[in-house]
Structure 1
Amino acid sequence: MLTRRHLLASALAAPAILRFGTAEAATTLKISHQFPGGTIDKGDFRDRLVRKFAAEISKRSGGELAAEVYPNSSLMKTKAQFSAMRKGALDMSLFPLPYAGGEVPETNIGLMPGLVANYDQGLSWKNKPVGKALTDLLADKGIVILTWVWQAGGVASRSRPLIAPEDAKGLKVRGGSREMDMVLQKAGAAVLSLPSNEIYAAMQTGACDAGITSSTSLISFRLEEVSKSLTSGAGQSYWFMLEPLLMSKDVFDKLPKKHQDILTSVGTEMEAFGRQGAQDDDKGVAKVYEKAGAKVSELDAATVGKWRDIARDTAWKDYSARSANCANLMKLAADVT
């Protein structure tokens, strides 16, 4: 016998809720992400992006589509979101793609150190063979990409700056992907695998000496409070992560075409906002850390080249050897200059 408690639990877990009004059903999508929540006008740009997306799909559908945003991993744990979307148990997430690497190894192409050098290069993937190959692969795994979002990254450190590979020796570092970890290990660091929303606690306790993450996360997760130095990725960076707005293909396919068209068109339009938000934070992160008393350093082309050389000899080769799909994605991505 179903109890009231069971019914409530089922309602909370169910994706793509149909709300019935006097006219016709409205589909309410749940969007989950790990980043701090704010408003449509203030806060982490990734949270703002999904709120703008939600407002726009509601407007264009005349209220037939709606979305509820769940920041701070408040709906489910960070790394569980990808699997949940594949199963149709979660509608959407703005998700760091390499977090899915344990489940779908090919997704680690989304944080391949030294592979993407700037926003133009990363965002051009969408309309190049590498973008089609990645889109097709994700679709086969039950995932639709709605918005391509790339972010440059930097390093927050509890002690000495981590700029060049030789600075990594003896440090415990969070890299953000299996491949970045390989590069750090080659440079002499010990590595930690954890999502960006757990870096603060790890650095606070001393479990982590330095965290590499996006400029936005360096700000939003207040890492300046536990850091004495910052290496900014504003000018150049060897660390670019693909953090797209993703949707469950199972949920997407069940929607009428007019709603699918709204979702894809609004998703594409959000890409300019995502790029601007990422680049604004690339510029703003130094001010945040300087104000907190941290030493700020920048990367030059020669230093980025050192990291890329290590990556080419370790992570790139390892990734390409994992499967035919990985080898193909790596080749296609390397062709984009």
Structure 2
Amino acid sequence: MPAITRRAVLGALATTPLWLQAARAQSNTSLKISHQFPGGSVTQGDFRDRLCRMFATEVEKRTKGALKFSIYPGSSLMKTNAQFSSMRKGALDMSLVPLSYAGGEVPEVNIGLMPGLVTSYEQGYGWKNAEVGKELARILAEKGIVVVSWIWQAGGVASRSKPIVEPEDARGLKVRGGSREMDLILKEAGAAVVTLPSNEIYAAMQTGAMDAALTSSTSLISFRLEEVSKALTTGRTGAYWFMFEPLMMSKAVFDRLPKDQQAAIMAVGGELEAFARKEAQEDDQEVATVYQKKGATVVDLKPATIKKWQAIARNTAWKDYAERNPNCAKLLALAEKTL
């Protein structure tokens, strides 16, 4: 064998272990998905946990095992309110979390729980391809976040005493709204607001630290709030409380992945939106059954009542939000085009 060929072979052999190591590191990536909801399985439990598991299974399949995932339900990896900030820093890979929880850090995200701004699933899911959705995605990307699955949920009100239907029903009660903007309309209605994540509602209502809570139908079920409630106002016939609760990914982590893996993540995330919408709407119906079985008074909202809450929101929450900064003003204007 000529000397030059032998040197080439020896050189190739010498570098092969390093090349294999680099290839292995690139082809096998393990990502963590954190959320605050009760854990289950792909087929049973809170649909938001199921969606994370379905996402992980399908992306792993499409990337032939190059991407693997660990799911951490029930805020078992980190505290609920730390997730968004951790994704921005690249310290957490992915999370399914109510976007408005990060309103103190990024004011613009409170558009995701703006009372009366979204009143139907059709309108909410229409945001993704509308100007408002594109602008929101741009702002989030600028803040270090990639929206993987657009998820909307209608909400209702669980109460320890009487049903909260009309604005005046909230007067004098301690109520959890879920965002700065929801708190503003509750204050205008005469309520005292309580601020905490949905996984802490049960304890607060059980002890009497809170009289009522607005949250998604799924959370009204998953956190067993029927055990501490005597009344429920559902979102099944319409609602002024719609939560944007997307599956998100750290942009720093996303940008490090090969293009084919990025494509798989976004494709699966988009495909799961139909599942999320179906499950959320089924929970809007199921929640009434769950609470009725416990003997709670169950009521629905009429269009005229939703408009009352919306009118309060326009003069308080919407106005306050638009004045936060130019981005907020632009997002609100674009969102109003979808009404």
Normalised TM-score (structure 1): 0.93
Name the aligned partner's letter for residue 200 of structure 1: Y
8 Å Cα contact 2:237/2:300 also seen in 1:
yes
Partner of 2:271: 269
8 Å Cα contact 2:28/2:67 also seen in 1:
yes
Name the aligned partner's letter for residue 172 of structure 1: K
CA positional deviation for 1:66: 1.0
Partner of 1:12: none
8 Å Cα contact 2:27/2:67 also seen in 1:
no
CA positional deviation for 1:325: 0.2
**Secondary structure of 1:238's partner?**
coil
Cα distance in 2 for partners of 1:173, 1:158 equals 11
8 Å Cα contact 2:145/2:248 also seen in 1:
yes
Partner of 2:156: 154
Within a 5 Å distance, the mapping from 1:54-73 to structure 2 comes to 54-73=56-75
For residue 202 of structure 1, the aligned residue among 193, 201, 204 is 204
Unaligned runs of 5+ in 2: 1-20
Cα distance in 2 for partners of 1:147, 1:20 equals 31
Within a 5 Å distance, the mapping from 1:182-201 to structure 2 comes to 182-201=184-203
Cα distance in 1 for partners of 2:99, 2:166 equals 26
Cα distance in 1 for partners of 2:151, 2:179 equals 17
Partner of 2:308: 306
Unaligned runs of 5+ in 1: 1-18
Partner of 2:288: 286
Cα distance in 1 for partners of 2:221, 2:25 equals 44
8 Å Cα contact 2:131/2:334 also seen in 1:
yes
For residue 76 of structure 1, the aligned residue among 64, 75, 78 is 78
Name the aligned partner's letter for residue 84 of structure 2: F
**RMSD over aligned Cα atoms:** 1.3
Q: Structure 2 vs 1, CA of residues 23 and 306 (structure 1 numbering), >3 Å: closer, same or farther?
A: closer
Aligned residues: 319
Cα distance in 1 for partners of 2:138, 2:130 equals 13
Partner of 2:169: 167
> For residues 280-315 of structure 1, what are the alpha-carbon distances to aligned partners after superposition, in whole Å with 9 as ceiling and x for unaligned?
100100000000110001100011011000000100
Name the aligned partner's letter for residue 212 of structure 2: A
Q: Structure 2 vs 1, CA of residues 132 and 22 (structure 1 numbering), >3 Å: closer, same or farther?
A: closer
- Structure 1 stretches of 4+ with a deviation exceeding 3 A read 19-25
CA positional deviation for 1:223: 0.1
Partner of 1:331: 333
Q: Structure 2 vs 1, CA of residues 328 and 223 (structure 1 numbering), >3 Å: closer, same or farther?
A: same
> For residues 57-79 of structure 1, what are the alpha-carbon distances to aligned partners after superposition, in whole Å with 9 as ceiling and x for unaligned?
00001111111100000000001
Q: Provide the identity percentage.
A: 66
Cα distance in 1 for partners of 2:213, 2:24 equals 52
For residue 117 of structure 2, the aligned residue among 115, 118, 143 is 115
- Tell me, yes or no, if structure 1 residue 49 matches structure 2 residue 51: yes
Name the aligned partner's letter for residue 217 of structure 1: S
Partner of 1:8: none
Partner of 1:88: 90
Name the aligned partner's letter for residue 230 of structure 2: K
For residue 137 of structure 1, the aligned residue among 136, 139, 148 is 139
**Secondary structure of 2:169's partner?**
helix
Name the aligned partner's letter for residue 146 of structure 1: V
8 Å Cα contact 1:20/1:26 also seen in 2:
no
- Tell me, yes or no, if structure 1 residue 101 matches structure 2 residue 111: no
Partner of 1:213: 215
Cα distance in 1 for partners of 2:163, 2:211 equals 10
Cα distance in 2 for partners of 1:318, 1:84 equals 27
Partner of 1:181: 183
Is the radius of gyration larger for structure 1 or structure 2?
Answer: 2
